[in-house]
Amino acid sequence: MRNGKYVVLCIDDDRELLNSMGSILESSGYEVETAASVGEAVARYKVTSPDLVLVDLMMEEADSGFAFVRAVRGLGPTPPLYLLSAVGADLTALTEFTELGLTDVLQKPVDPATLIRLVRATLKKA
């Protein structure tokens, strides 16, 4: 938390999507941090200690989202981690996302109302 608000870290190499998610979350009362690469995301994660993370699966490499998850799991307990993927339903059918350290997988594009509902519900449990 920062300034009495939950902090959400959004990671995606699509700047338009980052801006959109940031606006949606900020207008709902959340602090938002963004990163466009795994390296930038890990550095931002260490500095901000986010309460929730939304990370794209495919950025500079096909499984960049998983690389981020592996990196932060090595740092200790993690906040809820949601993977954003254009292949969301297919991904959950192929692998058990909780084994990867993920809370869930969200299909892109994410509906704004669904995003806010999910973030609120998740952070209430935290």
pLDDT in tens, 85-105: 876 555 545 455 666 678 888
Q: Which of the residue ranges 3-7, 24-28, 94-98, 110-114 would you say has the lowest mean pLDDT? A: 94-98
Structure pTM? 0.89
Half-sphere exposure of 74 (CA within 13 A, CB side): 7
Q: What is the pLDDT of residue 94?
A: 47
Domain contains 42: yes
SS3 content of the chain, % helix, strand, coil (to 5): 45, 20, 35
85: part of which helix (H) or strand (E)?
strand 81-85
Looking at the DSSP bridge assignments, the partners of residue 84 are 56, 106
Reported confidence tier of residue 35, pLDDT bands at 50, 70, 90: very high
Domain contains 67: yes
Tokens read off for 22 = 């940031």
Domain contains 92: yes
Domain contains 119: no
Domain contains 117: no
Range of the domain at 23: 7-111
CATH number at residue 45: 3.40.50.2300
Task: Evaluate if residue 57 carries a pLDDT over 90.
Answer: no
